[in-house]
Structure 1
Amino acid sequence: MAPDPSGTPRAATVLVASNRGPVSYTLGDDGELTSRRGGGGLVSGLSAIGSGADTLWVCSALGEGDREAVRRGVGEPGVLMLAIDEETHTAAYNGIANSVLWFIHHLLYQTPLEPVFDDGFRRRWEAYERYNASFARALADRAATGAAVLVQDYHLALVPGLLRQLRPDLRIGHFSHTPWAPVDYFRLLPDDIAAQLLRGLLGADRTCFLTRRWADAFGECAVRILGPDALAGTRIGVHGLGADAAFLKERAHRPDVAERMAALREQIGPDRKTIVRVDRTELSKNIVRGLLAYRQLLRTRPEWRERVVHLAFAYPSRQDLAVYRDYTAEVARLAGEVNDEFGTDGWTPVVLHVRDDFARSLAAYRLADVALVNPIRDGMNLVAKEIPVVSDAGCALVLSREAGAHEELGEYAITVNPYDVTGTADALHTALTMPEAERTRRTGELARAATALPPSRWFLDQLEALRA
């Protein structure tokens, strides 16, 4: 945010709010702070606005490095990092956002045992309210009259309503990057909490989603829980985030990617097809059933033994939560079990990598004959869009009908029910045996659909619609 001649920061005309910001800091043993710039659609979008705009990104300090940067007054122009106390952030982020709201929208609860909304939940919910209130106050203090504010995701679901009370002059948008739960599942939440979440989002002028399916689910929840006039003051928008083709194609042909490709080819071996998946070990990504389907393929169609390799990149996620640690361990255990059952001296059926390496992911994209994207439920899933853009020889996409990307890509993919292991194994066989001309045709169609709304345009479309 640029200063005026007196040195005081000018009020911003475009503001973005998100849990994670565009920059993070690491505190070294010598006390030195190192910054790292992030990427993604919002960063690209703010760049697309141009340097003449007064923009501000409000985010949370996520670790000790970030908190130390705030204490020292270290930062970047256009970024306001909030030093919310660690206890409040942990309770709001892990205790509510990732352990309740994520589970609700991705339908992850084992309902005979969970959820349990007790006094501990209520204390964590109070922290979530404080966390959202901190963002609302910061935005209200820094926004120019009539400014556009774009609030991001389920971490900040209460912000639009709180901000509307503080600054009724603002144009407020909220974007949900997750699915939205169907009304009967959303009603697992206590009635007052469900209503509070809906009213929070309905404080926005525009409440936006990645697909029409998620938008319709939100609308049904609002009407069924709050009444027939619930949507009167809010417009619901749909903006399907696409892949950044120019960046991906350039980045995928740098020397470090070529080095990773050579290493992967050595692991795969000559004249073998590849089934590629690249995911975080997020419960909703369904990695375990993907491995079970691959094992089923090798058991029932022995002709594929020693002729195919499953490149499974499963990067650890949310390891501070026990259920995620257990899931990550199960992925590794099952991959080892498949290798023990079928592996030979010259063939490793599953090549599992668990250390996050973007260059290696791009190398796998280029080598993919088949892409396996089988989430239980996903707001969009950019991997499904990125692999067809990058794949060297074209790839067949095996895609869950529960991925948001299926709305745009399903016509050219092989659709699977993510719970059906046998059906997924059959789909893998179909993908592996797809004629080259058909695979090439489908890859071209997938790439065109996947890049229809690139990140910078995705952001600007939301901003223009909000200002209209």
Structure 2
Amino acid sequence: MASTHGAEVLVASNRGPVSYELREDGSLHAKRGGGGLVSGLSAIGPDANALWVCAALSDADREAVRRGGRRLSEDATGGQQVRMIDIDATVFSDAYNGIANSVLWFVHHMLYQTPLEPVLDAEFRRQWASYEAYNRAFAEALAEEAAQGAAVVVQDYHLALAPRMLRELRPDLRIGHFSHTPWAPPDYFRLLPDDIAAELLGGILGADRAGFLTQRWADAFTACCEAVLGADAVSGTRIGVHGLGADADFLRQRAHRPDVDERMTALRTEIGTAPDGKARRTIVRVDRTELSKNIVRGLLAYRQLLDDHPEWRERVVHVAFAYPSRQDLAVYRDYTAEVQRVAQEINSAYGTPGWTPVVLHVKDDFARSLAAYRLADVALVNPIRDGMNLVAKEVPVVSDEGCALVLSREAGAYEELGEDAVTVNPYDITGTAHALHQALTLPAGERAERTKRLTAAATALPPAQWFLDQLHALED
């Protein structure tokens, strides 16, 4: 099935570098995305003959595929070659919402309330067939598009089966798989039916190389393979670790544009000044309202801080940005509502005419996020479990005056940043409140030194280099 004029480097991911909007006049408007993969593909240059294979996520995306054919117009994609796969909408929903986000995400983040969940019944098996079909569509598209001996880097838990499927179609290819999430330990991973667990692991082991964000997740994957498939299961696949870092140049440049300055002015007004006329201190968090981000416990810890240390009342503000995520799933809508309820409860109980203790925003605004980064005295990053968490790496890079980082030991970023952060157990409300107080009272000199070291660690492997390192490892 090798293409005679195929791509030499291919990236496969659920979401691609471009999405479409269908306007009232029938025209299609393309919106280009960002992120580490986009930076990485740009880094290899226009002569690398690279192709991005992704799924059509919306009706507008599907219309773009129907109008444009197999490859999208490079004018709309920022000069990148993109093949968008038009997968049946029901199959896509079953695979993406039913399996990837409602089962695999929950397993790897260890989020199930196990007395009631998961329910792996006939409906699960029906959706699993769609997940297989979705992965097969990617494998077939990659097999069609790849030149002889090409390098293919498959991304994340949505496409865990694709490496094995692609290997069977094109044994000549060099295939990598990269997991952006944590990996569950064997006892938790084996909540999955034995045959499904084996199929997932075997899918990734179809790659020449399996990559992870931290050694902890890589070790958990290896332990699962040994527990489910046997002692020598991993022998044919190399395991690698690549800790994605912050893009310092982009962040610093973007954080000083006029729209960010405007939002800083607006945020300062919302934060206000303390009764003594001094600027209030800020505890900043920026997250999607994913269940793993632990936003509610972060708010409860802030309330505990106000109880334990009443001297902080009217002198500190918790700037909390909780942007909607996966609102097509009821459990995420409920979680977003709970975040809003708890924030309002704190403001009602503690607020004064001149002080709003929690400044909460739920509408996504990247410029406002950067403004908050710049104003942060303390960054609160307390996930229950996170593959990496780039916010932990971005805030120290952008903060104007240097900031203290309160960091969950369950974030992948802990491996690199833990020494210079104030570390917390994400379930411990009292401990997190104590950590917030410790962070707020760090002497200025120590805070500046910690910020300097955090920034160095956070930018050690910027997105472009992170991607290139994976390519080079496949070539070795």
> Could you tell me whether the CA contact under 8 Å between 2:396 and 2:403 is conserved in 1?
yes
Query: Which amino acid is 1:201 matched to?
Result: I
Determine whether 1:61 maps to 2:56. yes
Paired residue for 2:161, among 144, 158, 161? 158
Task: Give 1:76 deviation, angstroms.
Answer: 3.1
Distance 1:385 1:401 in 2: 14
**How big is the alpha-carbon RMSD for the aligned residues of Structure 1 and Structure 2?**
0.8
Determine whether 1:220 maps to 2:223. yes
Indicate the residue corresponding to 1:145 in structure 2. 148
Q: Judge which range, 132-141 or 65-74, deviates more.
A: 65-74
Determine whether 1:73 maps to 2:76. no
Indicate the residue corresponding to 2:314 in structure 1. 306
Distance 1:169 1:340 in 2: 64
Distance 1:35 1:243 in 2: 26
Distance 1:341 1:55 in 2: 56
| Mapping of residues 65-464 of structure 1, within 5 Å | 65-73=60-68, 75-77=72-74, 78-270=81-273, 271-464=279-472
Determine whether 1:15 maps to 2:23. no
Task: Give 1:9 deviation, angstroms.
Answer: 8.4
List per-residue Cα deviations over 1:429-459 (Å, max 9, x = no partner): 0000000000000000000000000000000
Query: Secondary structure at 1:355's aligned position in 2?
Result: coil
Query: Secondary structure at 2:47's aligned position in 1?
Result: coil
Structure 1: 4+ residue segments shifted above 4 A: none
Distance 1:157 1:58 in 2: 15
Distance 1:353 1:9 in 2: 51
Query: Which amino acid is 2:52 matched to?
Result: W
Instruction: Figure out how many residues of one structure are paired with residues of the other and give that number.
Output: 461
> Could you tell me whether the CA contact under 8 Å between 2:4 and 2:147 is conserved in 1?
no
Query: Which amino acid is 1:196 matched to?
Result: E
In structure 1, the gaps of 5 or more residues are: 1-7
In structure 2, the gaps of 5 or more residues are: 75-80, 274-278
Query: Secondary structure at 1:10's aligned position in 2?
Result: coil
Distance 2:242 2:82 in 1: 25
Q: What's the TM-score once normalised by structure 2's chain length?
A: 0.96
Task: Give 1:299 deviation, angstroms.
Answer: 1.1
Distance 1:70 1:143 in 2: 19
List per-residue Cα deviations over 1:338-357 (Å, max 9, x = no partner): 00000000000000000000
Query: Which amino acid is 1:16 matched to?
Result: V
Determine whether 1:43 maps to 2:38. yes
Query: Which amino acid is 1:76 matched to?
Result: S
Paired residue for 1:25, among 20, 24, 34? 20
Distance 2:320 2:91 in 1: 36
Query: Secondary structure at 1:107's aligned position in 2?
Result: coil
Indicate the residue corresponding to 1:5 in structure 2. none
Q: What's the TM-score once normalised by structure 1's chain length?
A: 0.98
Q: Percent identity?
A: 75
Indicate the residue corresponding to 1:4 in structure 2. none
Distance 2:448 2:460 in 1: 19
Query: Which amino acid is 2:250 matched to?
Result: F
Distance 1:295 1:144 in 2: 58
Distance 1:29 1:401 in 2: 48
Distance 1:69 1:215 in 2: 38
Distance 1:9 1:285 in 2: 46
Query: Which amino acid is 2:21 matched to?
Result: T
Indicate the residue corresponding to 2:276 in structure 1. none
List per-residue Cα deviations over 1:93-144 (Å, max 9, x = no partner): 0000000000000000000000010000000000000000000000001111
List per-residue Cα deviations over 1:11-41 (Å, max 9, x = no partner): 0110000000000000112211100111111
Distance 2:4 2:411 in 1: 42
Distance 2:332 2:59 in 1: 22
List per-residue Cα deviations over 1:376-402 (Å, max 9, x = no partner): 000000000000000000000000000
Distance 2:64 2:474 in 1: 33
List per-residue Cα deviations over 1:71-109 (Å, max 9, x = no partner): 111723310000001000000000000000000000000
Task: Give 1:10 deviation, angstroms.
Answer: 2.4
